[in-house]
Amino acid sequence: MALLLKTSSVYVALCFGALYSLLSSKASAASRVSTGSTSGLLPSYDVLYYMGVRAYFKEEWEKSAELIEKSISTREKILRTRLECHHNCVAAGHDRLEKLDTEKGSVWDLWAVDWAQQKAECVRFCLSTTLSPAAQLPVSSDIQYEFDTRNPYNFLQVTYYKLGKVQRAVSAAQTFFVANPSHLEMRNNIEKYKRMPGVKEEAFEDRERDWHKHWAHYDAALLAESAADWAHAVDGWKKCVNETLRQTEDCRVQCELEGQGIPEAETASNMGVFEKAAALSLNLLSCQQSCVSIVATRPGRISPMEDFLPTVLEHLHIAQFKAGDLSGAVQTLRSLLLFHPLDADSLSNLQLYFETLGGDTEAQGIQPTQEISSYVTRALLEKKLLYFGVENLNFNFTDPDLWTPEEVVPESLREAWRLEREKLNEKLMAGEKEVELDDSGFYAGGSVPLTGVTITMDDASLNGTNRVVLDGVLTQSECDKVLHLATTAASLGDGYRGRRSPHTPHEKFEGLTVLRALKLAQDGFVNQSDARLLHEIGERVRTLLHSYFRSPSALYFSFTHLVCRSAITGKQEGRLDLSHPVHVDNCLLEPETRQCWREPPAFTHRDLSALLYLNDDFEGGDLFFTDRDAKTVTAKVKPQCGRVVGFSSGPVNPHGVTAVTAGRRCALALWFTKEKLHRDMEREEAETAWAKDGQSVTKQEKEEDSAPTPSRSGRSQGSKERSKTRGRVVGGRDEL
**Which residue numbers are catalytic?**
665
Q: Is 599 helix (H, G, I), strand (E, B) or coil?
A: coil
Nearest to 735 by CA among 621, 571, 570, 630: 621
SS3 call for 682: helix
Distance from chain centroid for Cα 244: 14
| The one-letter amino acid at 66 | E
Pairing of strands 608-613, 644-648: antiparallel
CA 676-677-679 angle, to 5 degrees, is 65
Closest C-alpha among 199, 220, 246, 229 to residue 83: 246
Q: Which residues contact 99 (CB under 8 A, 6 or more apart)?
A: 109, 111
Q: How many residues does the chain have?
A: 736
Are 326 and 363 in contact, with CB atoms under 8 Å apart? no
Cα dist. 504→508, 511, 615 in Å? 8, 15, 21
3-state secondary structure 524-577: CCCCHHHHHHHHHHHHHHHHHHHHHCCCCCCCEEEEEEEEEEEECCCCCCCCCC
618, 431 in Cβ contact below 8 A?
no
Is 649 within 8 Å of 607 (Cβ atoms)? Answer: yes
d(Cα 611, Cα 219) in Å, to the nearest integer? 27
Report the alpha-carbon distance of residue 51 to residue 63 in Å, rounded: 9
318 CB contacts (<8 Å, ≥6 apart)? none
The answer to whether residues 241 and 312 touch, using CB atoms and an 8 Å cutoff, is: yes
E strand or H helix that includes residue 160 = helix 151-162
Q: For 169, phi and psi rounded to 5 degrees?
A: -65, -40
Distance CA 568, CA 292 (A): 45
Report the candidate in 109, 107, 97 with the shortest Cα–Cα distance to residue 8.
107
DSSP code string of 92-126: TTHHHHTT--TTTT-TT--HHHHHHHHHHHHHHHH
> Distance between CA 139 and CA 520 in Å, rounded?
62
